[in-house]
Amino acid sequence: MALDFDGVYRAEYGRCVATLTRLLGDIGLAEEAVQDAFAVAVQRWTELPPNPGAWIVTTARNRAIDRLRRESTRESRHVQAMLLHQPDEPVEVGPVRDDQLRLIFTCCHPALSPVARTALTLRLIGGLEVAEIARAYLVPEATVFQRITRAKKKIRDAGIAYRVPADADLPDRLASVLTVVYLVFNEGYASTSGELLRTDLCLEAVRLARALAELMPDEPEVLGLLALLLLTEARRPARVGPSGELLVLPEQDRSLWDRRLIAEGHELVRRCLRRDQPGPYQLQAAINAVHTDGPATDWTQVLALYDQLLAHTPTPIVALNRAVAVAEVHGPALALAAIDELDLPGYHLLPATRADLLSRLGRAEEAVTAYDEAIALATNDTERTFLRTRRARLAESQ
């Protein structure tokens, strides 16, 4: 069997760091130990061991013990060495997923800046390299490295606990975790730069959402987020055309949608409906459930759900998305009136939506101007190409 070392690293890194963090009580040490162990594995493995994760954890733990012994001139190191000597804990079974959950909540602590939360989660839970995170967020590697280093230092110095928060704090903290997972997915689904899709980020976000749902099956917003990601992910294969061009919903070949993910997403949405505690992720999941239900979208239902979402989360982005549904149900004129008062500086989808509505109203000249505005603001090549094609088609028809 071929030795897919990168695959093992991807799959096991986050889990191993989480387990070692529990054993060592220190994220930095845990990371170093796991990296050491992977370095040893590269040299020693000629074929995959039966349980690669357990191998890494055991090796990392032994390496950490050796290191702490060497350095155990300090009181705190003695304590850590003692911790590690607690005999024969079953390291690779049972609490592993809890360890990861604890680590997610630590990485997403509200005392850390939102950008640091995402970078740290991607690094520690997703096992992404600093360079990959830098590419995804269009910032220099040094910046990402600095953010992660600072965040880890703050976790240690400020005494941020490595645990899932108590019930009373859970809703607040959970919101932060869900936001990070959602952002990771979005970055994969509509990358800020370069190619449109970053499949690895999408899959990582889905995996994280699954882990959360498994651990907190009673939190409807967790199920809502998972459903939203599954239903969006299901449509990914149809989102770009043969030459990599962006395809909008009416142009997509629905036969390419992943039926298995859609079925799973629908089941989750039904579970949420039974609980009847709608939140923003559940509502967005419900909207996507309508899109993926049957041969065409029932826009009246979508609009009703957007009305609920807007009442719950009255942000200009939700209002803009709602306007798309308004156009389908009540026509482009009403939709245009609805977005005229929106203020979303720098957000290319506002002029892009205006351009589309104006062109449907036959106001081609104004539409071209709006497309120009959107093209200037779009940062992703695929989206820019999409907008340019639209603009060209419109200019031709004049």
Partner 1 sequence: MKQYLIAVQYDESAPPETGDELREQMARTGKVTDDMKAAGSWVFVGGLLPSHATTVVRPGNGTTTMTDGPFAETKEQLGGLWVVRCEDLDEALSWASKCALACRQPVEVRPFHDGSED
Using CB under 8 A as the criterion, which residues of the chain lie in contact with partner 1 when the complex forms? Answer: 74, 76, 109, 111, 157-161, 165, 169
Q: How far is the CB of 28 from partner 1 (least distance, A)?
A: 11
Question: Is 148 in contact with 130 (CB distance < 8 Å)?
Answer: yes
Closest CB to partner 1 among residues 165, 194: 165
Buried/exposed code over 332-363 (b: 16+ C-beta within 10 A; e: otherwise): beebbebbeebebeebbbbbbbbbbbbbebeb
Question: Is 151 in contact with 119 (CB distance < 8 Å)?
Answer: yes
Q: How far is the CB of 160 from partner 1 (least distance, A)?
A: 5
- Judged on CB neighbours under 10 Å (0-12, 13-18, 19+), 85 is exposed
Closest CB to partner 1 among residues 158, 256: 158
Question: Is 285 in contact with 228 (CB distance < 8 Å)?
Answer: yes
- Across the chain, where does the E strand assignment appear? none
Closest CB to partner 1 among residues 142, 161: 161
Closest CB to partner 1 among residues 159, 250: 159
DSSP letter string over 40-104?
HHHHH-SS--SSHHHHHHHHHHHHHHHHHHHHTTSHHHHHHHHHHHSTT--TTSSTHHHHHHHHH
Q: Coil, strand, or helix at residue 116?
A: helix
Q: How far is the CB of 165 from partner 1 (least distance, A)?
A: 7
Q: Coil, strand, or helix at residue 246?
A: strand
Closest CB to partner 1 among residues 74, 254: 74
Q: How far is the CB of 153 from partner 1 (least distance, A)?
A: 9
Would you say how long the chain is, in residues? 398
Closest CB to partner 1 among residues 76, 300: 76
Q: How far is the CB of 98 from partner 1 (least distance, A)?
A: 18
Closest CB to partner 1 among residues 27, 358: 27
Question: Is 392 in contact with 359 (CB distance < 8 Å)?
Answer: no
Work out the end-to-end distance of the chain between its first and last CA atoms, rounded to an integer number of angstroms.
Answer: 61
Closest CB to partner 1 among residues 162, 257: 162
Q: How far is the CB of 159 from partner 1 (least distance, A)?
A: 5
Q: How far is the CB of 143 from partner 1 (least distance, A)?
A: 23
Q: How far is the CB of 27 from partner 1 (least distance, A)?
A: 14
Q: Tokens 């695929």 map to which residue?
A: 382
Task: Please give the DSSP secondary-structure letter assigned to residue 236.
Answer: G
Closest CB to partner 1 among residues 112, 338: 112
Residue 347 phi, psi (nearest 5): -95, 110
Question: Is 253 in contact with 238 (CB distance < 8 Å)?
Answer: yes
Q: How far is the CB of 247 from partner 1 (least distance, A)?
A: 46
Question: Is 197 in contact with 136 (CB distance < 8 Å)?
Answer: no
